[in-house]
């Protein structure tokens, strides 16, 4: 059995994901608010209101408190001379292996939110789609991008 | 002979004139608007105007087409294909042989009668459209031009060259003449081509397309007629008539599908010449496509249910960076529409060297349940709801039982294997498909596992391969997790080489 990848992504990823999760929680709060409104005006029965409010609270708790943390805990990557190896997934665990010889190009990218935290995402492209390593510190991401790019160049390229 | 600038065959004017149909429309439109605007314009005058419009438009269209044809010249000079073209925007294209991926020909019915072809020169990265299209050449000229392009092409770049492992030995009787490198040639018999048509899905598609239209039209046509009055909806005769109509429609669709497939696959020839495979086919519209071996990413052996019953397989390849197959055929390029199963092994080994049909291992027994649940779960929910809601609704429980049986069937077909340097995955959607991928062609491999799979020790294997026009993803759900990780390690070139116990062959 091949050893699991060891590198973690940046811990600030948790904060970023909490922020995006917070937006989702706001949507849930609106839904809960509508449910309470309907309950107060007597349109929806009491148990429906409680169920909706409970679901909204649970989803908010999940998307802000639990999911970002566990998602970060479960993300691992490793770049060796011959391959890029990823292991991630909250419930569905997914291992992805990209042979270095198949890498066509490597990019880093960062949206406004990631930039505010000094983070970038590394994208590894092959002839059959792209793979991402999310939320690495800018310096780490730049180094990783250059390293993969160098490694991918020296190996013989086969489409 | 191609070192001097050449023009295409004058029939190229016909090809181009279709581009200038709009030119025909303009004078006609002006003529019509003149006719309709003037109150006192006489009928005769208006006729003359319209007639003049048609003449003017036709002459204009042909004139422009002729000019475009006249402007299009090509030559091979300094090993480079030089093309001067473009009527308004003047283009001058230089194609070095290194950039040319493939040269294909096609001919419609008129060209077939005249013995002419259109030659399409494809380069990487242009997707569907050819880089250069020579509108018309005689078949003889086309052959000579293609031979010339081949002659100036360098031997394939070692980095891109295919590692020909299973190359047919020179002693093979089908391998002859080192000069021309004529390789194996396959042609289905005429009877087989009719079988291709009869078992094609084209009829089903036609039926599905026609039925809603018929159902919409029948009430309008039959609605108030004598037939409708004498056999009211709900009577026995009404249902019999409906059944007969349905059967006739089905037969008709099937016949239409058969004919269209036969026309498409007529006189199908697959030939390997050195490092490329050429496929020729079609009666009314004849096409020649070439697929360089170095571009082949995966080989698919496809057995539709009907063809599988008859012991027949069609073979297709995924190729990267070449023009996609013709408009009628999306996805992988068909190399042979209907081989006998025992023949398929030899066909694959001779046509696509390096690909082998591996011995396949079935999935572990604990995967069986997952396959049955996967297909039966949704129908079961629907059936349960129905049986509570509708009297006699429990009859709907047949549905999940049938779905479960299908799931079991899909499970029994799922298999995988690794032989020398190639991976084989077999799965069934409707057709049973066996995919052969060489290790150096796998772009990425993934193994995923959800909690239920973890309990059962299973995982889903996902292999991605480049293909035109879109990358291909092959999935094998519910492999033994250890085996799936073995394949992952094998792709990574790890020591943990996957070698399953061979237990079944295709």
For residues B361, B365, B369 and B372, what is the CA-based torsion angle, rounded to 10 degrees? 40
Q: State yes or no: pLDDT of B495 exceeds 50.
A: no
Which of B492, B494, B495 is the best residue to mutate to test the A interface, defined by the most A CB atoms within 10 Å of its own CB?
B492
Considering only CB atoms, B449 lies closest to which of A1, A85, A93, namely A93
Q: B315-349, pLDDT tens digit by residue?
A: 999 988 666 555 445 678 899 999 998 899 899 98
Per-domain residue ranges for chain B? 6-71, 90-152, 193-265
Q: State yes or no: pLDDT of B161 exceeds 70.
A: no
What is the complex's ipTM, to 2 decimals?
0.86
For residues A8-24, average pLDDT: 93
Q: Measured between alpha carbons, how far is B272 from B182 in angstroms, rounded to an integer?
A: 7
Contact B334, B301 (CB under 8 A): no
Show the DSSP H helices in B84-189 as ranges: 109-114, 139-152
Q: Does B293 touch chain A (CB under 8 A)?
A: no
Going by C-beta distance under 8 Å and a sequence separation of 6 or more, which residues neighbour residue B60?
B20, B23, B24, B26, B27
Q: Measured between alpha carbons, how far is A75 from A91 in angstroms, rounded to an integer?
A: 12
Q: State yes or no: pLDDT of B286 exceeds 60.
A: yes
The larger pLDDT score, comparing residue B370 to residue B52, is at B370
Per-domain residue ranges for chain A? 12-72, 77-154
Q: Measured between alpha carbons, how far is A133 from A141 in angstroms, rounded to an integer?
A: 9
The larger pLDDT score, comparing residue B138 to residue B151, is at B138
Q: B209-242, pLDDT tens digit by residue?
A: 877 777 777 777 766 666 666 766 667 787 888 8
A91-105, B88-102, B287-301, B354-368: the lowest-pLDDT one: B88-102
Is the Cβ pair B464, A89 closer than 8 Å? no
- The whole-number pLDDT of residue B330 equals 61
The larger pLDDT score, comparing residue B6 to residue B50, is at B6
Nearest to B367 by CA among B419, B401, B413: B413
For residues B297-301, average pLDDT: 94
Going by C-beta distance under 8 Å and a sequence separation of 6 or more, which residues neighbour residue B488?
A2, A95, A97, B445, B446, B447, B461
Considering only CB atoms, B491 lies closest to which of A1, A97, A156, namely A97
Is the Cβ pair B321, A159 closer than 8 Å? yes
Q: Measured between alpha carbons, how far is B457 from B479 in angstroms, rounded to an integer?
A: 9
The pLDDT confidence band at residue B15, using thresholds 50, 70 and 90, is confident
Nearest to B332 by CA among B360, B281, B295: B295
The larger pLDDT score, comparing residue A16 to residue B467, is at A16
Q: Measured between alpha carbons, how far is B261 from B201 in angstroms, rounded to an integer?
A: 9
For residues B160-180, average pLDDT: 37
Q: Which residues of A touch B454 (CB under 8 A)?
A: 93
Is the Cβ pair A95, B485 closer than 8 Å? yes
For residue A41, the distance in angstroms to the closest alpha carbon of chain B comes to: 32
**Domain A77-154 class, CATH top level:** mainly beta
Q: Measured between alpha carbons, how far is B465 from B438 in angstroms, rounded to an integer?
A: 10
For residues A54-72, average pLDDT: 90
Q: State yes or no: pLDDT of B106 exceeds 60.
A: yes
- The whole-number pLDDT of residue B1 equals 78
For residues A21-49, average pLDDT: 82
Contact B432, B313 (CB under 8 A): no
For residue A147, the distance in angstroms to the closest alpha carbon of chain B comes to: 18
Radius of gyration, CA atoms only, chain A: 21
Is the Cβ pair B448, A94 closer than 8 Å? yes
The pLDDT confidence band at residue A158, using thresholds 50, 70 and 90, is very low
**Residues of chain B with pLDDT > 90: what percent?**
38
- The whole-number pLDDT of residue A123 equals 94
Instruction: Please give the DSSP secondary-structure letter assigned to residue A159.
Output: -
Q: State yes or no: pLDDT of B506 exceeds 90.
A: no
- The whole-number pLDDT of residue A154 equals 60
Q: State yes or no: pLDDT of B136 exceeds 90.
A: yes
Q: Which residues of B touch A126 (CB under 8 A)?
A: 443-444, 464, 466
Q: Which of residues 88-117 of A touch B (CB under 8 A)?
A: 89, 91-99, 101-102
The pLDDT confidence band at residue B480, using thresholds 50, 70 and 90, is very high
Is the Cβ pair B496, A91 closer than 8 Å? no
Q: Which of residues 26-65 of A touch B (CB under 8 A)?
A: none
The pLDDT confidence band at residue B170, using thresholds 50, 70 and 90, is very low
The pLDDT confidence band at residue A116, using thresholds 50, 70 and 90, is very high
Nearest chain A alpha carbon to B447: A95
The DSSP string of B405-455 is HHHHHHHHH-EEEEETTEEEEEEESSSEEEEEEEGGGEEEEEEEE-HHHHH
Nearest chain A alpha carbon to B162: A158
A76-80, B18-22, B55-59: the lowest-pLDDT one: B18-22
For residues B93-105, average pLDDT: 84
Backbone angles phi, psi at B178, to 5 degrees: -65, -30
Largest CA distance in chain A: 71
Is the Cβ pair A2, B488 closer than 8 Å? yes
For residue A48, the distance in angstroms to the closest alpha carbon of chain B comes to: 22
The CA–CA distances, whole Å, from B67 to B42, B62, B202, B447 equal 37, 8, 41, 59
Q: Measured between alpha carbons, how far is B427 from B431 in angstroms, rounded to an integer?
A: 9
Q: State yes or no: pLDDT of A32 exceeds 90.
A: no
Q: Which of residues 119-138 of A touch B (CB under 8 A)?
A: 126-129, 131
Which of B158, B444, B484 is the best residue to mutate to test the A interface, defined by the most A CB atoms within 10 Å of its own CB?
B444
- The whole-number pLDDT of residue B39 equals 59
Q: Which residues of A touch B488 (CB under 8 A)?
A: 2, 95, 97
Nearest to B201 by CA among B33, B317, B107, B314: B314
Q: Does A3 touch chain B (CB under 8 A)?
A: no
Q: Does B329 touch chain A (CB under 8 A)?
A: no
A13-22, A117-126, B33-42: the lowest-pLDDT one: B33-42
- The whole-number pLDDT of residue B268 equals 93
The pLDDT confidence band at residue B295, using thresholds 50, 70 and 90, is confident
Considering only CB atoms, B444 lies closest to which of A91, A92, A96, namely A96
Q: State yes or no: pLDDT of B137 exceeds 50.
A: yes
For residues B72-79, average pLDDT: 91
Q: Measured between alpha carbons, how far is B129 from B83 in angstroms, rounded to an integer?
A: 16
List of E strands, chain A: 76-79, 83-88, 93-99, 103-109, 119-126, 129-137
Of the ranges A6-15, B167-176, B215-224, B233-242, which is most confident?
A6-15
Cα atoms in the Cβ-side hemisphere of radius 13 Å centred on A113: 14
For residues A59-70, average pLDDT: 90
Q: Which residues of B touch A98 (CB under 8 A)?
A: 443-444
Q: B359-384, pLDDT tens digit by residue?
A: 899 999 999 999 999 999 999 998 88
Nearest chain A alpha carbon to B297: A159
* Helix or strand run (H / E) with residue B239: helix B236-265
For residues B179-188, average pLDDT: 72
Q: Does A81 touch chain B (CB under 8 A)?
A: no
Contact A128, B464 (CB under 8 A): yes
A1-15, A105-119, B28-42, B140-154: the lowest-pLDDT one: B28-42
Q: How many CB pairs under 8 A join A and B?
A: 87
Q: Does B471 touch chain A (CB under 8 A)?
A: yes
**Residues of chain A with pLDDT > 70: what percent?**
96
**Residues of chain A with pLDDT > 90: what percent?**
55
Nearest chain B alpha carbon to A3: B489
Q: Measured between alpha carbons, how far is A136 from A124 in angstroms, rounded to an integer?
A: 14
Residue-averaged pLDDT of chain B: 82
Going by C-beta distance under 8 Å and a sequence separation of 6 or more, which residues neighbour residue B472?
A128, B297, B298, B318, B332, B464, B465, B466
Q: Which residues of A touch B295 (CB under 8 A)?
A: 159
- The whole-number pLDDT of residue A78 equals 95
Q: B410-458, pLDDT tens digit by residue?
A: 999 999 999 878 899 999 999 999 999 999 899 999 999 999 999 999 9
SS (H, E, C) A71-101: HHHCCEEEECCCEEEEEECCCCEEEEEEEHH
């Amino acid at each position: 059995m091949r050893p699991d990848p060891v590198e973690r992504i940046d811990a600030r990823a948790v904060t970023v994901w909490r922020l995006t999760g917070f937006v989702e929680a706001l949507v849930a709060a609106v839904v809960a608010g509508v449910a309470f409104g309907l309950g107060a005006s007597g349109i929806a029965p009491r148990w429906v209101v409680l169920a909706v409010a409970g679901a909204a609270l649970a989803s908010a708790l999940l998307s802000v408190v639990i999911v970002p943390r566990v998602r970060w805990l479960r993300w691992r990557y490793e770049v060796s001379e011959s391959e890029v190896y990823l292991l991630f997934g909250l419930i569905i665990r997914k291992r992805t292996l990209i042979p270095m010889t198949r890498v066509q190009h490597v990019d880093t990218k960062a949206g406004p939110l990631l930039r505010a935290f000094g983070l970038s995402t590394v994208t590894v492209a092959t002839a059959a789609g792209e793979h991402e390593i999310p939320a690495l510190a800018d310096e780490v991401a730049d180094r990783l991008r250059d390293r993969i790019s160098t490694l991918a160049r020296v190996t013989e390229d086969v489409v | 002979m191609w070192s001097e600038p050449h023009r295409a065959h004058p029939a190229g004017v016909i090809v181009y004139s279709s581009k200038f149909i709009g030119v025909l429309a303009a004078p006609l439109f002006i003529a019509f608007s003149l006719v309709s605007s003037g109150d006192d314009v006489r009928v005769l005058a208006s006729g003359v105007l319209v007639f003049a419009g048609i003449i003017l438009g036709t002459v204009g269209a042909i004139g422009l087409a002729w000019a475009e044809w006249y402007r299009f010249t090509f030559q091979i000079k300094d090993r480079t294909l030089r093309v001067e073209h473009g009527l308004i925007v003047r283009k001058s294209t230089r194609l070095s042989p290194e950039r040319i991926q493939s040269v294909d020909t096609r001919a419609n019915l008129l060209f077939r009668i005249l013995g002419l072809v259109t030659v399409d020169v494809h380069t990487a990265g242009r997707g569907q459209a050819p880089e250069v299209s020579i509108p018309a050449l005689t078949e003889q000229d086309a052959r000579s031009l293609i031979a010339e392009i081949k002659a100036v092409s360098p031997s394939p770049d070692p980095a891109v060259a295919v590692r020909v492992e299973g190359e047919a030995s020179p002693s093979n009787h089908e391998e002859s003449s080192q000069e021309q490198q004529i390789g194996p040639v396959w042609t289905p018999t005429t009877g087989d081509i009719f079988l291709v048509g009869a078992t094609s899905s084209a009829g089903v598609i036609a039926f599905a397309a026609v039925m809603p239209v018929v159902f919409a039209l029948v009430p309008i046509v039959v609605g108030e007629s004598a037939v409708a009055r004498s056999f009211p909806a709900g009577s026995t005769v009404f249902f019999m008539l409906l059944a007969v109509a349905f059967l006739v429609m089905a037969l008709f669709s099937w016949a239409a599908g058969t004919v269209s497939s036969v026309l498409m696959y007529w006189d199908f020839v697959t030939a390997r010449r050195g490092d490329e495979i050429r496929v020729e086919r079609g009666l009314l519209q004849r096409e020649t496509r070439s697929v360089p071996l170095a571009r082949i990413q995966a080989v698919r052996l496809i057995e539709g249910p009907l063809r599988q019953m008859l012991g027949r397989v069609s073979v297709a390849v995924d190729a990267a960076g070449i023009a996609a197959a013709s408009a009628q055929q999306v996805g992988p390029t068909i190399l042979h529409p209907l081989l006998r199963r025992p023949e398929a092994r030899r066909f694959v080994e001779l046509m696509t060297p390096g690909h082998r049909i591996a011995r396949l291992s079935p999935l572990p027994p604990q995967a069986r349940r997952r396959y049955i649940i996967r297909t039966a779960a949704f129908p079961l929910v629907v059936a349960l709801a129905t049986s509570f809601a509708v009297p006699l609704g429990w009859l709907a429980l047949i549905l999940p039982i049938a779905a479960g049986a299908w799931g079991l069937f899909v499970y029994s077909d799922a298999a995988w294997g690794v032989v020398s340097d190639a991976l084989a995955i077999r799965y069934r959607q409707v057709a049973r498909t066996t995919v052969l991928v060489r290790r150096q062609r796998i772009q990425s491999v993934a193994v995923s596992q959800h909690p239920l799979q973890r309990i059962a020790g299973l995982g889903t294997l996902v292999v991605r391969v480049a293909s035109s026009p879109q990358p291909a993803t092959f999935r094998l759900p519910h492999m033994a997790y250890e085996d799936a990780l073995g394949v992952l390690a094998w792709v990574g070139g790890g020591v943990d080489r996957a070698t399953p116990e061979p237990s079944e062959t295709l």
